[in-house]
């Protein structure tokens, strides 16, 4: 679930890179909803070319976690 990953990110040092396909998809969803600032790779043939990197949790993301 993306919100579980968001909670993990709130406790981790950023930036943080992810190579796992499930994590990359969760980051894509979090970014689309404005919860994180991240670089999400382009998909080719069903796989990303590079890792996704989360740079920051946005104010909206912090509110979603109940931190603000």
What tens digit of pLDDT does each residue of 24-48 get? 999 999 999 999 999 998 877 766 6
* Contact (CB, 8 A) for 38 and 54: yes
- pTM strictly above 0.85: yes
Beta strands in the chain (DSSP E): 16-18, 36-39, 43-44, 47-48, 52-57
Number of domains in the chain: 1
Residue carrying structure tokens 């679930």: 1
Give Cα 22 to chain centroid, integer Å. 11
pLDDT at 7: 96
Residue numbers of the domain that contains 8: 2-65
Tens of pLDDT, residue by residue over 44-60, are: 776 667 899 999 999 99
């Amino acid at each position: 679930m993306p919100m579980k990953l968001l909670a993990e990110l709130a406790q981790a040092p950023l930036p943080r890179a992810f190579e796992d396909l499930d994590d990359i998809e969760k980051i894509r969803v979090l970014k689309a909803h404005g919860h994180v600032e991240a670089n999400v790779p382009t998909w080719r043939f069903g796989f990303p070319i590079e890792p996704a990197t989360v740079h920051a949790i946005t104010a909206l993301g912090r509110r979603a976690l109940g931190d603000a």
